[in-house]
């Protein structure tokens, strides 16, 4: 499962946790403007906005998990099993395979408003990338500096939701999560007050008791509530370092540790566990993609504008996935 958020502090930021039980050897991948984007059912985009994001690259095709473009629009696909409903190619529709949707939107749209218009007649098709890579059931969060939306295609059809909290997780559908928020509107970051029985002498015995009731489990509904509370109450200085640090702290409030979400056992009897494979933070104004991995908590940044964005070839950065521990020199 996964969590995506937006955050504003000086600049505007967009990113996510990728929670999964395995890695596809993904890389931070820059797709320059003149790398053709071939489509299964639509004409290829011979030129487009430049992109940077996390992708599994197969035969020079970047299968993006999340990305942003040079105009400051970000987009992420999150797991949506049992609800995502992909369809056969339909006449009169913009037929886009699920693995094409992120680069297709980001390649043409500079704002959420433009993305909303492009999505108005999209049909997400059931075409597989290959026999070995069938379609993943997804829904998508899209954000710029001004607003955020969620796009879902279910059996009820395609729908675009306004996303005023700038948060998304997984199942159920987005409208459920927004309704579920109301169950926690009494929770506060302020000190707890005695509303239970004002005539009874009760006092808070600990800091943080205003947040009692916030969920702490790893289900998608609980992560939505927890990360929304954390994000919407977060404060940081407006410098890049402070803002990026705070962004990763927010994602850290719902990260998954190995052993806490078990999915069964492998052939050797070892537990299969879902973990936070990586966390990502995109500075939408500056075009910098930051990330950490499960095995390396040091923040690594890649600036798309330091690449040749008029080029024709992908640029891939393998992830730095070994823990980087600074050891102090011992004094004599």
Task: Confirm if 28 and 302 have CB atoms less than 8 A apart.
Answer: yes
Spatial separation of the C-alpha atoms in residues 95 and 129, rounded to whole Å: 14
Sequential DSSP letters for 52-73: EEEEEEETTEEEEEEEEETTS-
Q: pLDDT digit string (tens) for 149-200?
A: 999 999 999 999 999 999 999 999 999 999 999 999 999 988 888 888 999 9
Distance between CA 281 and CA 106 in Å, rounded? 17
CB count within 10 Å of CB 183 equals: 12
Active site (catalytic) residues? 2
Q: Which residues pair with 275 in a beta bridge?
A: 20
d(CA 167, CA 75): 12
Residue 209 CB burial class (10 angstroms; 0-12, 13-18, ≥19) = middle
- Comparing CA positions, the residue from 54, 49, 48, 82 lying closest to residue 67 is 54
Of the pLDDT bands very low, low, confident and very high (cuts 50, 70, 90), residue 43 is very high
* 311's tokens: 């080029």
The pLDDT tens digits for 69-96 are: 999 999 999 999 999 999 999 998 999 9
In the three-class reduction of DSSP (H, G, I as helix; E, B as strand; rest coil), residue 153 is classed as strand
- Taking alpha carbons only, the member of 53, 55, 63 closest to residue 14 is 53
pLDDT at 192: 87
User: Which backbone phi and psi does 46 adopt, to 5 degrees?
Assistant: -75, -30
Average pLDDT of span 219-244: 96
Integer CA distances (angstroms), 49 to 30, 35, 69, 105, 311, in order? 11, 10, 6, 10, 12
């Amino acid at each position: 499962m996964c969590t995506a958020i937006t955050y504003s502090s000086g600049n505007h930021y967009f990113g996510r946790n990728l929670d999964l039980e395995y890695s596809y050897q993904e890389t931070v991948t820059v797709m320059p403007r003149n790398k053709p984007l071939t489509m299964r059912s639509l004409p290829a985009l011979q030129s487009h906005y430049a992109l940077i994001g996390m992708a599994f690259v197969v035969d020079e095709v970047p299968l993006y998990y999340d990305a942003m473009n040079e105009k400051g629009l970000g987009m992420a696909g999150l797991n949506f099993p049992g609800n995502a409903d992909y369809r056969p190619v339909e006449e009169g529709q913009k037929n886009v395979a699920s693995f094409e949707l992120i680069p297709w939107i980001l390649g043409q749209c500079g704002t959420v408003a433009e993305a909303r218009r492009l999505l108005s007649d999209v049909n997400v098709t059931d075409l597989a990338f290959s026999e070995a890579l069938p379609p993943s059931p997804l829904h998508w969060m899209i954000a710029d500096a001004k607003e955020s939306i969620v796009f879902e295609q279910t059996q009820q059809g395609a729908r675009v939701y306004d996303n005023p909290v700038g948060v998304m997780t997984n199942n159920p559908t987005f409208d459920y999560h927004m309704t579920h928020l109301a169950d926690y509107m009494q929770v506060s970051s302020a000190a707890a007050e005695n509303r239970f029985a004002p005539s009874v002498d009760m006092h808070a015995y600990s800091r943080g008791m205003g947040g009692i009731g916030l969920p702490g489990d790893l289900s998608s509904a609980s992560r939505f509530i927890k990360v929304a509370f954390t994000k919407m109450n977060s404060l940081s200085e407006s410098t890049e370092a402070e803002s990026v640090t705070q962004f990763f702290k927010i994602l850290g409030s719902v990260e998954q540790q190995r052993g806490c979400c078990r999915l069964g056992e492998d052939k050797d009897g070892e537990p299969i566990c879902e973990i936070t494979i990586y966390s990502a933070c995109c500075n939408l104004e500056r075009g910098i993609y930051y990330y950490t991995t499960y095995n390396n908590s040091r923040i690594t940044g890649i600036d798309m504008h330091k690449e040749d964005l008029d080029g024709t070839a992908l640029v891939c950065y393998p992830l730095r996935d070994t823990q980087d521990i600074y050891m102090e020199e011992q004094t004599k």
